[in-house]
Amino acid sequence: MLRISKRTDLTKKQYIQLRLAAVIMALFTSGIFILIMGQNPAAIYFAMLQGAFGSFYGLRETIIMTIPLVITSLGISTAFKMKFWNIGAEGQIYMGAFAASYFALNHHDMPKPFLLLVMAAASIAGGGLWALIPGFFKARFGTNETLFTLMMNYIAIKWITYLQYGPWKDPNAKGFPIIAAFKETAILPGFMGIHIGLIIALALVALMHIFMYHTKKGYEISVIGESENTARYAGMNVKKIIVAAILLSGGLCGLAGMIQASGVHGTLSVDVSGGIGYTAIITTWLGQLSPALIMLVSFLFAALVQGGSYIQTVFQIPQAAASILQGMILFFVLGSEFFIQYKINFKKEGI
Amino acid sequence: MNRQTYIQLQNITKSFGTVVANSKIDLSVHKGEIHALLGENGSGKSTLMNVLSGIYTPDSGSIIIDGREVCFKSPADSIAMGIGMVHQHFKLVEVLSAKENIIIGQKGNFFINQKRLSEQIGKLARKLGLDIDPDKKVYNMSVGEKQTVEILKVLYRGAEILILDEPTAVLTPQETQKLFDIMRKMREMGCAVIIITHKLNEVMEISDRITVLRKGEAVATLDKSATNINELTELMVGRPVDLSIKRLENQKKETILKVSNLTLVDDDNVKVLQNVSFDLSKGEILGVAGVAGSGQKELCEAIAGLYEVYSGDIRYEGESLVGKTPREIIKKGVSMSFIPEDRLGMGLVASMDIVDNLLLKDYQNHKGFLIDRKPLKEKAEQLVKRLDIKTPGVNHPVKQLSGGNIQKVLLGRELDSNPHLLITAYPVRGLDIGASYTIYDLLNEQKAKDVAILYIGEDLDVLMELCDRIMVLCNGEITGIVDAAKVTKEELGLMMAGVCLEKIKGGSSYA
Amino acid sequence: MSRKVTSIMLVIVLALSLVFTAGCGTGASNGKVKVGFVFIGPIKDGGWTEAHYNGMNYLKEQLKVETMYRELVPEGPESKKAIKELINAGCNVIFTTSFGYMDPTLEAAKENPKVKFFHCSGFKTAENMSNYFGRMYEPRYLSGIVAGLKTKTNKIGYVAAYEIPEVINGINAFTLGVQSVNPNAVVKVRWSHTWIDSALEKAAAVALLDDGCDVITQHNDSTATYIAAQERGAYAIGYNLDMPSAAPKAYMTAPVWNWGVYYVQEVKAIMEGTWKAAAYQGGIKEGLLDLAPLTEVAPPEAKAKVEEARKQIIDGTLQVFKGPIKDQSGNIKVPEGKTLNYEDTMSMDMNWFVQGVEGKIEVQK
């Protein structure tokens, strides 16, 4: 008979063993899969590392992918810390990108630094307000924010699609449904092919670390996440704090949208997020809501994706197979979480 | 008395991770005996009984029932051997009737012969002298009735060994007496009854033999007739303990809190507190007695600004607290600490360490955006030293501390804020005797400092010894406010059951 | 504590990567041609991407060159990454096969002057970047003849992706083909607003069938419309690829791409050193496009009619957009003596339907 119980007594050594076991299991299982495909697992793993870190180009792509993941994860972690399950980062990214693009497309004659600041502010407002809608309904009517934020994603994506195919369509694109590229004044500057979003992401990690662990507001958010009753008991204005935290959560996701539009895509499109809002939920969780860990996990995750892309080219394996590899590695790493939280007891049989 | 050994536990050891809950425990219980299992919280009583009822499998040791060694795979095996356990928290389906709850989970025919079933249950109840309506819904029942249903449920399944886990914690003195009568009847019928408790008076009243557990080990098994409360306490605690509480005489009579006609309603518009009026002076301890759920929690929350006042007034130092935010009330020097059943519901943040929990009432006094943890860390270390809190360090999450230590953190923090009015509910809930007396001393210390204290308690003996006056609540109404030095336990019990003080006085000769 | 674990893992990963990078750096190869393809869909989509994939394999067979590809590459910056990776893997000729790859391809062309680029269906070129497409309206016109002869209800359905010139000129050419044999038939248009989404395409087809259409054609990348037609006992004309097996009881023919012809021609020129960047557009004459062989489902009399028109298109006597052509409201859009050429049909002015089309183009700024 099996019994599952919560673990409280995990030692450091067991923790490391479990994590290592997960990685080894993942490599082993994926290895079988690779063998079935007729490839050499060692060569594939090696190529994945090489693709992610092995050249300046690969490393740069990994970093560029890490940037929005980190910022979005920081946003999600703010909400998660409060046990507000914000699954709506994807939509908040789009709405942030939309708000920034409005200024990029219509006011590109502003001086560049000023325009970029306006775009950033707009994206924070866009993402924040978009997140506030489910937040308001949760606070007022107790609606389930998980479903609500998820549904809001579809609305946001359809809104961008509408803009791209309708009112914002570039008249110079021969009828093709694309939005005009941003003018130079609306493009984030960069260095050696990496846009300035890297600096923003690093600064945000530091700021969010201070915010979460060393400010009153951060402390209040943690307490509310633990127990709203306790927060009220301690004299906190719970609703006000929830609203502020949700605004911050959505705002950060929105900023990630602006950075993707301005720094990577050079315009707004329905591909501007491409699932970052969902991926970031995984990195937030694996990063245990801690800014420093989130940065690390996001970087490793980006490396996994970059490595997966690289092996498609080098080994000419189908895109689906590369996705399966990434999925299996994730499965085991996330799966080990279960064994860290719980233990399984095998009961002795008896009469 | 029948001296035949019915249950024998030999060398039982059970550990959870690194914690040894039971270590080589031997226990034997006879037929026709009431056997008390006495011990402080965490001494391993419940674990041992869970082993006997098949919920836990022991790491080693054997269970012998009626001369046969058995090995339980699940509670079902234990029930089949005639063992029934009534848990502290009832496991009844609220919307079903007593009858339906009794047969639930039973094997039998698909169709239920309602009439025959009622008859059977009625017969069983009469045999035990139980007064129960088999068709009454559980949600209409009092706590005592629910417990009766639990006992009937177990007996209906043919239990000859009845285990009761802290059965009196939720009962009024009168209900307790009724329960004891049932237990005596069962003894006459030849059943073995095991009662888990930490209340010494009850042990002396009901049991035949007593096994004392301390830190997972069985330290002694005694005949009741051959022992006394002091010896039992010493065995339980491991050292002699002074069991008297000093009552400091209250000098001042300056009123600090005046509650008048306070009425509170819950989300369903049901009145949870009705026309409650009382006052509290500086340097006074006002006790609040009542069965659980009589409105104690709501009263505390209303004073602390956490529960919306429906009508009436709460005046603190002449100023109304109604409509003030919790923050404003805290600033005026009102401190509230409510220990709920799970101990962590309100007041402490389970996953945070002691420092961050001290921060809860302190952080708003910090200047600017940032929090400075340094002074609090020192404060936390002082607190740990002063109250003898057992923790690996001040940065250890409080949820990993034992119940008593958690309560010390909470009370310590509240006392540290130098309140003028201290509201404390169940501060010794689940604490061992030593720790409880530390807390009573702390409260008396505050009293000496002219702090007014509203003390919500469970143990009537303690209320009578510690408090100046006792207010009794029943179903949200005050049934009496009495001088603690003059009242008897029986009178308190009647008031807890809803009989007004005036009636009791009218019916008896003393005032 | 988990912080430590992850950082240890990271160090290991970094160390490994440093060790292994020593052996890396297989950049441009030694004068050999290696061709990379970037595809928008999966290689077995039964449509647009599969047609290009078949072209790639034809190229490989004919010229024995090494080829690589990336499938399911989203438009935008992702596509530039795929191009770069192909170049890093040694490709020195790159074909990108979706409109949205145009700007990323141009950027990559500027950054990699030694690599030769080809972008399909766009309008930008560079020193080392050609673009290529075809006069799809020619086989569309031929397929219209088949549909016009087949229909009994005189209602023909057309599932179309987006309101862009490429799609609109296809609808017009098809309708002109229909009316050349059956002036009473009308072509009903429904927009699917997707390039590839079987569910949406099928829904549009079903709506047309409900509207009384008994022949369906499409400008989309999946085979959903043929299947819908077969389920209703109606008939279908495909697109991109000859796929009779998808719906044998409904499928009559399809205007198809033979990209291999162009790929071989261009790569050969590169190998011989005669290549120059250009804007290429081919048709039936060049062998880039054709109408797939008619199946037994097609009306018997169609074969001769199609054959005749096909010959005339090749020798130039038949031009699809030769005036006079009237629009839906009867105004002359192309006057007598004037003919629209390929550039005209792909310009923004191609925002009207010919007479005989039932449907609307949302007018946009």
CB A274 within 8 A of CB A153: no
Residue with tokens 């009622």: B118
Return residues 219-258 of C near A (CB < 8 Å). Answer: none
Phi-psi region at B54: left, alpha or beta (left = phi > 0; alpha = psi -120 to 50): left
Q: Is A155 on the interface with C (CB under 8 A)?
A: no
pLDDT digits (tens, 9 = 90+) for C293-345: 999 999 999 999 999 999 999 999 999 999 899 999 999 999 998 999 998 99
Q: Does pLDDT of B405 surpass 50?
A: yes
Q: Does pLDDT of B284 surpass 60?
A: yes
Give chain C positions within 8 Å (CB) of A177.
162, 164
Q: Given pLDDT bands bounded at 50, 70 and 90, which one contains residue A334?
A: confident
CA dist., res. A122 & res. A258, Å (int): 9
CB C181 within 8 A of CB C305: yes
Pick from B481, B440, B482: nearest CA to B459: B440
Phi-psi region at C352: left, alpha or beta (left = phi > 0; alpha = psi -120 to 50): beta
Average pLDDT of A181-193?
Answer: 91
Percentage of the residues of chain A whose pLDDT score is greater than 90? 61
Nearest residue in chain C measured CA to CA from A262: C77
Residue with tokens 């098949």: B54
Q: Is A13 on the interface with B (CB under 8 A)?
A: no
Average pLDDT of A14-34?
Answer: 87
Residue with tokens 């509240």: B414
From the list B306, B351, B370, which residue is nearest A233 (CB)? B306
A21-25, A157-161, B87-91, B235-239 — which is least confidently predicted? B87-91
Determine, for residues A54 and C24 on separate chains, whether the beta-carbon distance falls below 8 Å: yes
Separation in Å, CA of C5 to nearest CA in chain A? 6
Percentage of the residues of chain B whose pLDDT score is greater than 70? 94
Q: Kindly list the domain boundaries of chain B, sorted by start residue.
A: 5-237, 255-507
**For residue C324, cis peptide bond before it (omega within 30 degrees of 0):** yes
A190-199, B210-219, B250-259, B261-270 — which is least confidently predicted? B250-259
Q: Given pLDDT bands bounded at 50, 70 and 90, which one contains residue A74?
A: very high
Query: Which comes out higher in pLDDT, residue C361 or A341?
Result: C361
Burial category of B169 from C-beta neighbours within 10 Å (exposed 0-12, middle 13-18, buried 19 and up):
middle
Burial B249-272 (b: 16+ CB within 10 A, else e): ebeeeeebbbbeebbbbeeeeeeb
At C268, the amino acid letter reads: K
Q: Where are the alpha helices (DSSP H) in B401-485?
A: 403-416, 433-448, 460-466
Ranges under pLDDT 50 in chain C: 1-5, 10-11, 13-30, 364-365
Tokens describing residue C287 = 């062998």
Determine, for residues A61 and C81 on separate chains, whether the beta-carbon distance falls below 8 Å: yes
From the list C9, C14, C348, which residue is nearest A53 (CB)? C14
CB B74 within 8 A of CB B80: no
pLDDT digits (tens, 9 = 90+) for B90-125: 788 888 888 888 887 666 666 667 787 888 888 888
At A134, the amino acid letter reads: P
Q: Does pLDDT of B2 surpass 60?
A: no
Give chain B positions within 8 Å (CB) of A227.
345-346, 349-350
Phi, psi of C52 (to 5 degrees): -70, -40
What pLDDT sits at residue B418? 85
E strand or H helix that includes residue B424: strand B421-425
Model-level ipTM above the cut of 0.85:
no
What pLDDT sits at residue C15? 46
Q: Is A349 on the interface with B (CB under 8 A)?
A: yes
Q: Does pLDDT of B202 surpass 60?
A: yes
Separation in Å, CA of A53 to nearest CA in chain C? 6
CB pairs under 8 A between A and C: 120
Separation in Å, CA of A59 to nearest CA in chain C? 11
Average pLDDT of A325-349?
Answer: 78
pLDDT digits (tens, 9 = 90+) for B42-69: 788 888 998 898 888 888 899 998 888 8
* Complete domains list, chain C, with CATH: 34-134+258-282 (3.40.50.2300), 137-254+292-358 (3.40.50.2300)
CA dist., res. C96 & res. C141, Å (int): 27
What pLDDT sits at residue C352? 93
- What CATH architecture is B5-237? 3-Layer(aba) Sandwich (3.40)
CA dist., res. C239 & res. C255, Å (int): 5
Q: Given pLDDT bands bounded at 50, 70 and 90, which one contains residue B178?
A: confident
CA dist., res. B474 & res. B172, Å (int): 11
Average pLDDT of A287-315?
Answer: 92
Q: Given pLDDT bands bounded at 50, 70 and 90, which one contains residue B490?
A: confident
At B299, the amino acid letter reads: L
The mean of the pLDDT values for chain A is 90
Separation in Å, CA of A271 to nearest CA in chain C? 7
Separation in Å, CA of A67 to nearest CA in chain B? 27
Physical contact, C and B (3 or more Cβ pairs within 8 A): no
pLDDT digits (tens, 9 = 90+) for A50-60: 999 988 888 99
CB B345 within 8 A of CB B353: no
Q: Is A341 on the interface with B (CB under 8 A)?
A: no
Residue C150 half-sphere exposure toward CB, CA atoms < 13 A? 31
What pLDDT sits at residue A330? 87
What pLDDT sits at residue A346? 63
Q: Is C363 on the interface with A (CB under 8 A)?
A: no
What pLDDT sits at residue C191? 92
What pLDDT sits at residue B253? 75
What pLDDT sits at residue C66? 93
Q: In Å, how far from its chain's centre is CA B298?
A: 18
- B255-507 sits in which CATH class? alpha beta
Nearest residue in chain A measured CA to CA from B401: A8
Pick from B117, B190, B121, B176: nearest CA to B144: B176
From the list C68, C72, C77, which residue is nearest A319 (CB)? C72
Query: Which comes out higher in pLDDT, residue B296 or A341?
Result: B296
3-class secondary structure, A149: helix
Q: Does pLDDT of B357 surpass 70?
A: yes
Q: Does pLDDT of A17 surpass 60?
A: yes
Burial A180-189 (b: 16+ CB within 10 A, else e): bbbeebbbbe
CA dist., res. C34 & res. C93, Å (int): 6
Give chain B positions within 8 Å (CB) of A341.
none
In order of A11, B13, B28, B211, C327, the CA distances from B59 in angstroms are: 22, 6, 19, 21, 90
Determine, for residues A350 and B361 on separate chains, whether the beta-carbon distance falls below 8 Å: no
From the list C13, C164, C193, which residue is nearest A49 (CB)? C13
CA dist., res. C87 & res. C238, Å (int): 35
Q: Given pLDDT bands bounded at 50, 70 and 90, which one contains residue B430?
A: low
Give chain A positions within 8 Å (CB) of C89.
313-314
Q: Which subunits sit against B, judged by 3+ Cβ pairs under 8 A?
A: A
Separation in Å, CA of A229 to nearest CA in chain B? 6
Alpha-carbon dihedral sign for residues B24, B30, B31, B37: negative
